[in-house]
Amino acid sequence: MKHMKLLATAGAAGALALLAGCASTPWGGTTYVAQLQPMNTRVTGGATTGQATFTERGGQLVMDVQVKGAPAGIEHWQHFHGFQDGKSATCPAAASDANHDGIVDLIETGPAAGTTMVPFIQHPATMDIPHGTYPVADASGAYHYRVTVPVAELQAAFAKQFPGQQLDLDKRVVFIHGVPAATRLPASVQSLGPIPAQVTLPIACGVIRKAG
């Protein structure tokens, strides 16, 4: 089971400005990068690292995520998270482990990182977080995800899901999730609804920053 239009009146230039979170300054050509650092290595048994890059080219947003050291042979949910009130998100630290079980679960990331926003799936603008198709790590634990989506389409879908909000990439963080279904986790590890905690467990995080 796989766990886990709209901009009719605004032009592409306006959508680019919204992406930057500054209506007076177009975002064209700007690149944003998140360096992914490992989380919950006690559970994964290794260090999941990588890089996520977001670049606008001619009204298209190229989303590129390269990961290594992830649990091999399984699908990995990946998204950017953030706050709906304009506050900048950060990656959770060890102190985010509120129940002191030695694991920072998805729910415990909320105070630092906010909520799940955009899924990095085949069609991100569907915003289909629980049912989208996510990448699968190879036998070495590596994968490369690359998708191009119209900026205007993604911004419109985002604004529909989060009314009044812009993408504001430099206020978001990227999470990589997922350990094998057979991984034993304490009962204290929380997830969303019926989704197994193994699916949503954060294994890497990176703050998105404007490059250059």
Q: Could you tell me the mean pLDDT of each successive run of 10 residues in the chain, 212 residues long?
A: 34 38 45 98 97 94 98 98 95 97 98 98 97 97 98 96 94 98 98 96 98 84
**Is 23 a domain residue?**
no
Integer Cα distance of 63 and 120 in angstroms = 8
**Is 137 a domain residue?**
yes
Rg (CA), the chain: 17
**Is 135 a domain residue?**
yes
The three-class DSSP label of residue 136 is strand
| Residue 22: per-residue pLDDT | 34
Name beta bridge partners: 19.
none
**Is 75 a domain residue?**
yes
**Is 55 a domain residue?**
yes
Domains of the chain: total: 1
For 19-46, letters b (16+ CB in 10 Å) and e give bbbeeeebbbebebbbebebbbeebbee
Per the structure block, which two tokens stand in for 210? 């404007």
**Is 48 a domain residue?**
yes
Domain with residue 181: its CATH number is 2.60.40.200
Q: At CA 168, angle to CA 161 and CA 59, rounded to 5?
A: 90
Integer Cα distance of 141 and 95 in angstroms = 27
Which class for 110: exposed (0-12), middle (13-18), buried (19 or more C-beta within 10 A)?
A: middle
Which class for 188: exposed (0-12), middle (13-18), buried (19 or more C-beta within 10 A)?
A: middle
- H or E, element range at 68: strand 60-68
**Is 1 a domain residue?**
no
**Is 7 a domain residue?**
no
Q: Domain limits at 65?
A: 29-210
Rounded alpha-carbon distances, angstroms, from residue 87 to 81, 120, 129, 145, 209:
12, 22, 22, 28, 14
